[in-house]
Chains A and B, each alone.
Chain A
Amino acid sequence: MREMFPLVAKDALVRRNGRVLVGPIDLQLEGKGTTIVIGPNGAGKTTLLKMLHGIMRMNGGSLDWGCAREEAQRRQAFVFQSPVMMRRSVVDNIAYPLQLAGTARKDARAQAADWAARISLGDALDRPATRLSGGERQKLALARALIRKPDVLFLDEPCASLDGRATREIEDILKQAAAEGTRLIMSTHNMGQAQRLADEVLFVLHGRIHEFSPAAAFFAGPQTSQAQAFLNGDIVE
């Protein structure tokens, strides 16, 4: 297996209905650590993540992984801001990515049951996933994304509108995944969470990368006034 990284974006641009959502962006991500994407609402965080993940068509520029595109796509997963619950049971939801990849149903369900136990949904295996609470849904989405053991995991505000306990549970799973070598690229509005998880920070504003620096340096003193203002909790426009 070839190394997936570096991930290099050159002049990457996403335009919809004549409006530039993201770009042009030049970015190089290396294969270690956790990248946290922060920025105000509408700055283009979600679009940026989806573009890097490859589910949003680019209108210009290039995006290259260290390995072939198909292989890279197989080795990454995405957790959406509002998790998509398939209309099936909890265990079938978690097992689905494995079944797509060709794992036998019985085997996939056994692995999914293990994962359900890890996210404390072990006694809800046969409940319809659409009946789960917000926190449970997000945990399910996380387990479903991690079950294929992706090398890269994108997360779009996975803890938005969750309470402290659910957030902590999700962060624990994320820390464990990161410790096992999964590269995390995650957007968040929670600065505490950003500080807890980040190795490097991407500050996005108006669809551009405004600042990209190691977490410690960024939180100690951002280079740009906008990032400083954002950290202070001011409204950045």
Chain B
Amino acid sequence: MSDLLEGMVQAFWLLVTLDSDLVEITLRSLQVTLTALIIASVIALPMAALLSVRRFRMRRATIAVLNALMGLPPVVVGLIVYVFLSRSGPFGVFGLLFTPTAMIIAQVIIIVPLIASIAHQSLRELWSDYHDLLISMNATQVQRIQALLWDGRRALLTAALAGFGRAIGEVGAIMVVGGNIDHATRVLTTAIALETGKGDFAMALGLGFVLIALAIAVNLAIHWLGHTEREGRW
């Protein structure tokens, strides 16, 4: 129990004194995760809309695979990205291993199936509402996708937030491809793992509380920006 209390005190002091290491790794956590989130959303959301609108032969199989990939073990993703980016791997020449870029790549791979899958669930329902109307109006495939993405934007926000949640708390993959290098690739989750390993529970807990607070703050900020949960909105 005293560890927990000490952790809270530690977190408090870290925040109040704006500890420069803490600020650095927090900003890096945010930078890596938000970049990954934006890239993943740009890939996953149109993909979800396309899967809703379009009927093709492998559609069911694609959706099943996407759902299965939601549970992709991060550490395995990390390992595969590692192999691809390592000196002897196919993308070794870019020298990306142990950089924030490598961490972003791993996170994108982890959260694309999650975002696409959740987005597809809600867009599918929206499409069953809109189906007859949009076909009757002769909307093109692209116009149908645009209508779904725009009118379903609040549901898509939820999908994106789920992706953010998974990425910000992720440790296995970014530890493998990032290497937890101080002042280069250290982020909140890898720092917590390190401090716990060192036995500095107070510090680890302090960082943990900062991480939780960060996740809540980002969620609130996005909800506030998106005007969700307000009267008369969708």
Contact = CB atoms under 8 A, between A and B. Distances in A.
Contact of A86 (B130, B136, B232): B130
Nearest to B138: A73
Given A77-B137, A80-B132, A96-B137, 11 more contacts: A50-B132, A55-B132, A55-B135, A77-B136, A78-B132, A86-B130, A86-B147, A87-B151, A100-B137, A100-B139, A127-B232
Contacts of B133: 80, 84, 86
A130 interface: yes
B190 to A, nearest CB: 41
A74 B138 CA distance: 7
Given A84-B129, A87-B151, A100-B143, A131 B136 contact: no
A53 B136 contact: yes
Interface in A119-136: 127-128, 130-131
6 contacts: A53-B136, A77-B137, A78-B136, A100-B137, A128-B234, A130-B234
Nearest to B153: A87
B179 to A, nearest CB: 45
A128 B130 CA distance: 16
Nearest to B147: A86
Interface string A79-107: 01000101110000000110010000000
Interface string B85-109: 0000000000000000000000000
Nearest to B136: A78
Contacts of B135: 55
Nearest to A50: B132
Interface string B121-144: 000001001101101111100010
A168 B130 CA distance: 28
Nearest to A77: B136
A73 B134 CA distance: 12
B138 A100 contact: yes
Q: Which of A53, A84, A127 has the most CB of B within 10 A?
A: A84
A2 B129 CA distance: 34
